[in-house]
């Protein structure tokens, strides 16, 4: 198989953090896995800097973690095309760059154009994975690369060092204490159920928070900065300011059995630690959705809302595979909780709280299932390895 000498990853940030998060994780993985020159071209450096605060804000070019991070502007000098060009989420690549790729016919091999698609559990994914499509104008093929949970898909981003990092964190209580100290809080009281909340605006939030506040057991809800924060603040009757407002950061608000902690937006690697420390994780989009699975804890996914409810199809497709092997008396309330959390319209009053009260006492069984699921999902292979193999085979 031909060695891959260079990668260019092109990332247009639509909104939120996911596009930048997936591309940053991919670029770091490619550099670590292959040692090849890896450039991440990104149009919104701020989104990336929030995920990796070590990066210098606004610097058009810098290197970190084996990746050369370049600001993607209309006047950027892209230089020679790389062996492999990743067009993330179909955001496209610069026209001049595509023409340069097409002009490489004198080169030993013509660069490969990979369109990295969004993650979905829908059954059609494996059939479409890896299919070529001729460029409408240039003598170039684009290959559609689909992440996925099943064999025959591109797999999931899962860096080799992940398990060791997680086990090291879980084995050492001092690391958990350090996490809270660095986030500006004391560790939660022993025995309190820790729930992390990351999501989009959500009308179902109040009902769940109320169930926790009026419940028997102590619940600590850790709420890093996100679009869900507003709903939490409204429930607590406090002004959260705008999503980016930090006023509420570092605040602890108590209501009955519920303690809400407003956390700052954490560095991506720190966010992993929150997922590992928590008993339940509420996540969203794509990258946190996958990280929650690798955290091997029960979780609830808020799919990125899409037109015509396309996200509900994605949600149901994932629920179908995730709940396989789960006892029906757990699968039914879990699905109800997820549907309630993703409902475009509010569910019958109490439905989300009822689902929660059926699940809350079953933490051990749900965690066991989460562990079994993580092992199952990992069988589709690490996306970085699958991608490098896919490319090396086509660059023969
Ligand atoms: O930010 P998102 O909603 O991104 C979304 C999705 O990717 C969606 O598929 C895409 O269509 C849309 O953007 C445009 O959710 P996601 O994918 O989970 O990305 C969030 C990232 O932020 C993830 O890497 C976790 C990280 N994160 C931190 O680093 N620190 C934090 O404190 C929190 C809460 C998250």
Q: Splitting the chain (396 residues) into consecutive groups of 10 residues, what average pLDDT does each group show?
A: 87 95 98 96 96 93 97 94 96 96 74 97 97 94 97 97 97 95 93 97 94 96 95 88 55 94 95 98 98 98 91 96 96 95 78 94 97 97 97 86
Ligand 1 proximity of 147 Cβ (cutoff 6 Å): no
58's tokens: 């606004």
pLDDT value of position 308: 84
To the query of whether residue 286 is one of the catalytic residues in this protein, the response is yes
pLDDT value of position 215: 95
Torsion of CA 26, 342, 297, 322, to 10 degrees: -80
pLDDT value of position 309: 86
320 torsion bin: left (phi>0), alpha (psi -120 to 50), beta (else):
alpha
Other beta carbons within 10 Å of 332 = 15
DSSP strands (E only) in 155-268? 193-197, 219-224, 252-255, 258-263
Ligand 1 atom 8: the closest Cα is on which residue? 285
Ligand 1 atom 3: the closest Cα is on which residue? 285
d(CA 197, CA 226): 9
| 84 close to 112: Cβ distance less than 8 angstroms | yes
Ligand 1 proximity of 179 Cβ (cutoff 6 Å): no
380's tokens: 């589709």
Ligand 1 atom 18: the closest Cα is on which residue? 288
d(CA 335, CA 134): 41
**Atom from ligand 1 closest to the CA of residue 304:** 8
pLDDT value of position 344: 64
| 122 close to 143: Cβ distance less than 8 angstroms | no
Ligand 1 proximity of 10 Cβ (cutoff 6 Å): no
| Ligand 1 center to 199 CA (angstroms) | 9
Could you give the 3-state DSSP secondary structure of residue 350?
Answer: coil
| Ligand 1 center to 52 CA (angstroms) | 13
Ligand 1 proximity of 17 Cβ (cutoff 6 Å): yes
Element (H, E) at 144: strand 141-145
d(CA 46, CA 67): 17
Ligand 1 proximity of 285 Cβ (cutoff 6 Å): yes
**Atom from ligand 1 closest to the CA of residue 16:** 1
To the query of whether residue 201 is one of the catalytic residues in this protein, the response is no
| Ligand 1 center to 268 CA (angstroms) | 9
Ligand 1 atom 15: the closest Cα is on which residue? 285
| 28 close to 46: Cβ distance less than 8 angstroms | no
| Ligand 1 center to 122 CA (angstroms) | 21
Q: Which of 33, 83, 117, 286 is catalytic?
A: 286
| Ligand 1 center to 18 CA (angstroms) | 4
Structure pTM?
0.96
pLDDT value of position 396: 62
**Atom from ligand 1 closest to the CA of residue 268:** 29
pLDDT value of position 250: 66
| Ligand 1 center to 266 CA (angstroms) | 12
**Atom from ligand 1 closest to the CA of residue 25:** 24
d(CA 133, CA 331): 40
pLDDT value of position 105: 61
366's tokens: 């749900």
Determine the length of the chain.
Answer: 396
pLDDT value of position 313: 95
CA distances from 279 to 124, 194, 209, 270, 286 (A): 33, 5, 16, 16, 20
Instruction: Tell me the chain's radius of gyration from C-alpha atoms.
Output: 22
353's tokens: 């709280």
**Atom from ligand 1 closest to the CA of residue 269:** 29
| Ligand 1 center to 15 CA (angstroms) | 9
pLDDT value of position 251: 76
| Mutational pocket test of ligand 1: of 23, 287, 303, 315, the residue with most ligand atoms within 8 Å of the beta carbon | 287
| Mutational pocket test of ligand 1: of 13, 17, 26, 249, the residue with most ligand atoms within 8 Å of the beta carbon | 17
| 211 close to 356: Cβ distance less than 8 angstroms | yes
CA angle at residue 205 from 199 to 206, to 5 degrees? 155
**Atom from ligand 1 closest to the CA of residue 17:** 1
At residue 284, what are phi and psi to the nearest 5 degrees? -150, 180
| Ligand 1 center to 286 CA (angstroms) | 7
Ligand 1 atom 2: the closest Cα is on which residue? 18
């Amino acid at each position: 198989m031909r060695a891959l000498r260079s990668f260019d990853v092109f990332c247009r940030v639509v909104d939120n953090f996911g596009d930048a998060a997936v591309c940053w994780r991919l670029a770091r993985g490619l550099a670590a896995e292959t040692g090849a020159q890896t450039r991440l071209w990104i149009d919104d450096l701020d989104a990336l800097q929030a995920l990796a605060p070590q990066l210098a804000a606004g610097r058009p070019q810098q290197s970190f973690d084996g990746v050369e991070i370049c600001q993607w502007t209309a006047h950027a000098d892209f230089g020679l095309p790389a062996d492999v060009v990743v067009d993330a989420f179909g955001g496209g690549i610069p026209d001049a760059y595509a023409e340069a790729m097409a002009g490489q016919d004198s080169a030993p091999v013509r660069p490969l154009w990979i369109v990295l698609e969004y993650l979905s559990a829908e059954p059609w994914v494996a059939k479409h994975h890896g299919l070529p499509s001729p460029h409408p104008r240039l003598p170039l093929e684009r290959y559609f690369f689909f992440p996925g949970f099943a064999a025959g898909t591109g797999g999931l981003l899962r860096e080799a060092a992940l398990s060791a990092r997680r086990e090291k964190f879980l084995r050492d209580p001092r690391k958990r204490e350090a996490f809270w100290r660095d986030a500006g809080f004391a560790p939660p009281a022993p025995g309190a159920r820790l729930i992390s909340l990351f999501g989009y605006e959500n009308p179902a939030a109040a009902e769940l928070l109320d169930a926790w506040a009026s419940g028997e057991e102590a619940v600590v809800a850790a709420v890093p900065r996100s679009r869900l924060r507003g709903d939490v603040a409204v429930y607590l009757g406090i002004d959260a300011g705008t999503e980016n407002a930090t006023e509420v950061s570092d605040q602890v608000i108590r209501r009955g059995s519920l303690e809400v902690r407003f956390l700052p937006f954490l560095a991506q690697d720190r966010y992993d630690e929150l997922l590992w420390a928590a008993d339940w994780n509420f996540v969203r989009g794509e990258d946190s959705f996958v990280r929650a699975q690798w955290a091997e804890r029960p979780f609830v996914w808020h799919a990125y809302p899409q037109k015509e409810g396309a996200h509900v199809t994605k949600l149901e497709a994932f629920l179908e595979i995730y709940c396989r092997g789960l006892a029906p008396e757990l699968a039914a309330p879990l699905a109800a909780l997820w549907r309630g959390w993703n409902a475009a319209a509010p569910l019958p009053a109490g439905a989300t709280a009822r689902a929660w009260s059926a699940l809350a006492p079953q933490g051990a069984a749900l965690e066991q299932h989460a562990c079994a699921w993580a092992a199952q999902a990992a069988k589709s292979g690490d996306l970085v390895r699958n991608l490098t193999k896919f490319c090396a085979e086509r660059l023969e």
